[in-house]
Structure 1
Amino acid sequence: MRSPVSAHPTKVLPLVWLVSMLLSGLAAPAIAADVTVPTTVVQTGRAGRSLDMDGAIQPVRQATVSAQTAGNVLALNVKAGDRVKAGQALAQLDARVAAAGVAQSDAGLAQADANLRNARTQLERTRELRGQGYISQSALDNAENQFKAAEAAVAQARAGRSQATLAQGFASVNAPFDGIVLATHLDTGDLAAPGRPIVTVYAPGALRAVVQVPASQAATARSAQRIEVQLPDQRWVAPIKKTDLPTADAVSQTVEWRLDLSGADSALLMPGQTVRVRFADAAAGADQKLATLSVPDAAVLRRGELTAVYVAQDRQFVLRAIRAGSAQGGSTEVLAGLKAGDRIATDAVKAGLAGARP
């Protein structure tokens, strides 16, 4: 018996040929036409010192509310984003242990009161007997000492009861001020312990940009004549208050700057948001101008944490990471990654296309 292929060669072979051609067409890569991208040579210039750095938005007033007593979380009354009032209950803890402590302190106070009454009665009888000459002075002194000890025991029992009552009040975790819940750290059923965070609350309307300036650039930042923060609408605004901490971090070797923003500017931002901070015109006078490198803004490729340019090498473009400084007048300062004489693409988008050539 002949196979179906040999029986019908004129029908099967064209079909196989057609399928193979379709598959090969799908697998064949597209050939991009050459794209010529203009280039420019990086040159040095004279410019004043400036720093452009990323900063983070933080609330000026923020509190992480923790438990002051141990107990399971019976109810978590808020979630992230909720507005709360000062004194509002954020979470409710199991108060049975605290209630038992209050009952125990009440019993201790009752016992101390009873001992005090007995010591007072005994002191009065001893004084009468001493007045009649039936007992010695030492017996009276002993009765007086017992009475004073009973009084001290009552004071101690009352203090213990106050402490137990205060601990019972810690079962309700309340908001310290009017604000917005930034985050919740525990959930219903979790075990709360003294010092363990439960809820973080911040006061809206007062935010600041926090930037970590390298210690080697601290003098440049302090001498800056103009400090600005870039808002999401691309506007550069001046902070209403500037504070640089007097110490450097021992690990990162950075100095923290806190730039308080106005209420109108804070309304456009959120805690945790990344902003651009510029320390401009740090050096005054022509003798303090520095030789710097700058490239056109369009030549800089920014993709998340990557800042790079396309460098022309052997009739092709090679992506090279750079550390960018301030951007002014359509040019971006390059702090590291390039040298004078490097030839780069003036359009980073086109240079990234397949087939792009200098």
Structure 2
Amino acid sequence: MQGADTLVRAMALGLVLAAGEGVAQGVVVPTVAVRAAAVGQGLELDGRLEAVRQSVVAAQVPGNVVQLAVRAGDVVKAGQVLARIDPREAQASVARGDAGVAQARAALSQARADVERQRELKKQGFISQAALDAAEARFLAAEAGLAEAAAGRGQAALARSFTTVVAPYDGLVLATHVEAGDLATPGRPVVTVYAPQPMRAVVYVPASRRAALGEGARAQVRLPSGRWVQPAKVTVLPGADPVSQTLEVRLDLAAADVGQAVPGQAVRVRLSLPGESGPGSEAAGQRLTVPASALLRRGELTAVYVAREGRFVLQAVRTGADHGQAGVEVLAGLSEGQAVATDPVRAGLAGAVPQQP
């Protein structure tokens, strides 16, 4: 609390200094009384935006990164080169594969000629059936050896192709995880790529509030722009996290609603309980509220200017859900009947006084 009080005093001093010495004294600021209002009892939680299509492209072969071709924020096309890994070891493996194929092909050619001679000799009665069977077995083994050598060569060629890391689809580079000269190992992230559309909001709901996600529940998402929108689809993952005991909820958003928002931005998600239709419904309860315009937000601190003895005092508060026209819930810091400034910027000016009722 001592740290919060110090921050409040620092904020108040900063607002006074920012106002300047030439500000006229006696600025009158309207106030509003803190009252209990009927608001819905749904859930409102912090969430984040994420791309529906987001991939961490990882290395599949070991080697030094010889080129990083993109940076965070770059636009990429499907198949575009993202990074290159030293291909010399992979090229050597392909050369070994080529030699193995040539050797297996020569062995097969000799085994074919040998089995044909053995068949002719068997027809003339010069060799036994056992000798012919042995020659045919060697021929089949040579065929299998050529197939094995070809498969090994194909595997080496595939590994060589993995030395060039490419984009899996059209999108944007969210982050790079290596630099030229770093050692890449199989599974090490190289680049994170995402498609800017579609987007979704992700929020974690306590498992004990599973009822808020049942049939008939409604959801709203407040985007970074401050606008509330309805998600196109709500998906609740079936399992709960064993540590946090929360359920992951994904809310798909329309492209027109998302606008210029990017993955990782914070959002607010409001979940209405089944049967709740607004402040006048049976599911509504009484909560202390203040208009959203009365709140002063600076970093992690939220405060209001309280009218006290003919002047304004900055008071830190803890807020809850934003209920639109009904106001923002005040969980701590205010009592019913207190008067707060409706314009906190003007209330912070030197000489500001509350408007008389």
TM-score range, shorter chain: 0.7 to 0.9
Does 2:331 align with 1:331? no
Whole-angstrom CA distance in 2 between matches of 1:201 and 1:240: 24
Identify which range, 280-289 or 78-87, moves more after superposition: 280-289
**Counterpart AA for 1:204:** P
**Counterpart AA for 1:290:** G
Shift of 1:112: 0.9
Identify which range, 121-130 or 71-80, moves more after superposition: 121-130
Q: In structure 2, what is the equivalent of residue 220 of structure 1?
A: 212
Whole-angstrom CA distance in 2 between matches of 1:293 and 1:215: 27
Whole-angstrom CA distance in 1 between matches of 2:32 and 2:314: 15
Identical-residue share of aligned pairs (%)? 52
Give a deviation string over 1:131-180, Cα, whole Å, max 9, x none. Answer: 23332221211111111111100110011111111111111111111111
Q: Any unmatched runs of 5+ in structure 1?
A: 1-32
Whole-angstrom CA distance in 2 between matches of 1:350 and 1:217: 41
Q: In structure 2, what is the equivalent of residue 66 of structure 1?
A: 58
Whole-angstrom CA distance in 2 between matches of 1:174 and 1:118: 43
Q: In structure 2, what is the equivalent of residue 25 of structure 1?
A: none
Q: In structure 2, what is the equivalent of residue 21 of structure 1?
A: none
Q: Indicate which of 245, 249, 254 corresponds to 1:257.
A: 249
Q: In structure 2, what is the equivalent of residue 30 of structure 1?
A: none
Whole-angstrom CA distance in 1 between matches of 2:222 and 2:39: 21
Q: In structure 2, what is the equivalent of residue 81 of structure 1?
A: 73
Return closer, same or farther for 1:43/1:224 CA change in 2, 3 Å cut-off.
farther
**Counterpart AA for 2:147:** A
Whole-angstrom CA distance in 1 between matches of 2:306 and 2:135: 99
Normalised by the length of structure 1, the TM-score is 0.77
Does 2:91 align with 1:95? no
Whole-angstrom CA distance in 1 between matches of 2:289 and 2:71: 47
Q: Are the aligned partners of 1:40 and 1:343 in contact in 2 as well (CA < 8 Å)?
A: no
Q: In structure 1, what is the equivalent of residue 12 of structure 2?
A: none
**Counterpart AA for 1:346:** V
**Counterpart AA for 1:297:** A
Return closer, same or farther for 1:349/1:267 CA change in 2, 3 Å cut-off.
closer
Task: Say which one has the larger Rg.
Answer: 1
Shift of 1:226: 4.1
Whole-angstrom CA distance in 1 between matches of 2:81 and 2:324: 50
Give a deviation string over 1:286-320, Cα, whole Å, max 9, x none. Answer: 4433343434435545333444668999xx97956
Q: Are the aligned partners of 2:307 and 2:340 in contact in 1 as well (CA < 8 Å)?
A: no
Q: In structure 1, what is the equivalent of residue 146 of structure 2?
A: 154
Return closer, same or farther for 1:325/1:159 CA change in 2, 3 Å cut-off.
same
Identify which range, 319-328 or 242-251, moves more after superposition: 319-328
Does 2:206 align with 1:206? no
Residues paired across the two proteins, number: 325
Whole-angstrom CA distance in 1 between matches of 2:236 and 2:298: 30
**Counterpart AA for 1:128:** E
Q: In structure 2, what is the equivalent of residue 23 of structure 1?
A: none
**Counterpart AA for 2:61:** T
Shift of 1:82: 0.9
Shift of 1:210: 1.4
Query: What is the correspondence of 1:169-188 to structure 2 with a 5 Å cutoff?
Result: 169-188=161-180
Identify which range, 170-179 or 201-210, moves more after superposition: 201-210
Give SS of 2:243's match. Answer: coil
Does 2:340 align with 1:346? yes
Whole-angstrom CA distance in 1 between matches of 2:242 and 2:33: 40
Give SS of 1:54's match. Answer: strand
Q: In structure 2, what is the equivalent of residue 288 of structure 1?
A: 283
Return closer, same or farther for 1:262/1:153 CA change in 2, 3 Å cut-off.
same
Whole-angstrom CA distance in 2 between matches of 1:104 and 1:222: 61
Give SS of 1:86's match. Answer: coil
Q: In structure 2, what is the equivalent of residue 303 of structure 1?
A: 298
Give SS of 2:323's match. Answer: strand
Shift of 1:349: 6.8
Return closer, same or farther for 1:146/1:216 CA change in 2, 3 Å cut-off.
same
Whole-angstrom CA distance in 1 between matches of 2:96 and 2:140: 23
Whole-angstrom CA distance in 2 between matches of 1:344 and 1:170: 67
Shift of 1:69: 1.1
Whole-angstrom CA distance in 2 between matches of 1:50 and 1:270: 27
**Counterpart AA for 1:70:** P
Q: Are the aligned partners of 1:185 and 1:198 in contact in 2 as well (CA < 8 Å)?
A: yes
Q: In structure 2, what is the equivalent of residue 16 of structure 1?
A: none
Whole-angstrom CA distance in 2 between matches of 1:220 and 1:338: 28
Give SS of 2:172's match. Answer: strand
Whole-angstrom CA distance in 2 between matches of 1:295 and 1:330: 8
Shift of 1:98: 0.6
Identify which range, 120-129 or 157-166, moves more after superposition: 120-129
Whole-angstrom CA distance in 1 between matches of 2:320 and 2:177: 37
**Counterpart AA for 1:59:** A
Give SS of 1:288's match. Answer: coil
Q: Are the aligned partners of 1:48 and 1:283 in contact in 2 as well (CA < 8 Å)?
A: no
Does 2:53 align with 1:57? no
Q: Are the aligned partners of 1:310 and 1:319 in contact in 2 as well (CA < 8 Å)?
A: yes
**Counterpart AA for 1:91:** A
